[in-house]
Amino acid sequence: MPNLERLRADHAVALLAFERANRAYFARSIPDRGDAYFEEFTARHKALLAEQDAGPCHFHVLVDEQGELVGRVNLVVVAAGFAELGYRVGELTAGRGVATAAVRDICRLAGTTYGLVSLTAMATLDNPASHTVLERNGFTATGSVTIDGRPGVRYRRTGLSD
């Protein structure tokens, strides 16, 4: 299984390549990042690292045994023991249990290292794989949401160090 690594400056080139290679794949089930994301990637990456250093977010990448970046897992809006989870795994890696393992690992890390007690996450209705990943990791549905005009479900998990 790929290793979860905290985002660093030296991940920039591989992360941009990963996002470009998987853009169309991701857009099928989650909102597209838009052209500006790619055009302004270098500045955005630096801003994310600064935000992470300040503490309100924890950004991670998934790196496989060959050193390839195959996914990312983020904890954002971190405050008062809570955070929102976001994750994505590339098309060539999907369906192999990588996302399930990454979410399991980030839940443990959130509880033991970051001191969080609860995570929320969202998934659009047309992304059944994401619902499965969250449910396998102890998240429970808490209500309906709209994500960029698409219907979805909000999830929550407590007991992160379990």
Q: Is the model more confident about 162 or about 13?
A: 13
Q: How confident is the model at residue 56 (pLDDT cuts 50, 70, 90)?
A: confident
Q: Are 38 and 19 in contact (CB under 8 A)?
A: yes
Q: How confident is the model at residue 162 (pLDDT cuts 50, 70, 90)?
A: low
Supply the pTM of this predicted model. 0.92
**Does the domain formed by 3-158 have CATH 3.40.50.970?**
no
- pLDDT tens column, 124-143: 998 899 999 999 999 999 99
DSSP alpha helices (H): ranges in the chain? 12-27, 35-39, 41-54, 98-112, 128-136
Domain segments of the chain as ranges: 3-158
Alpha carbons 152 and 52: distance in angstroms, whole number: 28
- Identify the three-state secondary structure at position 140: strand
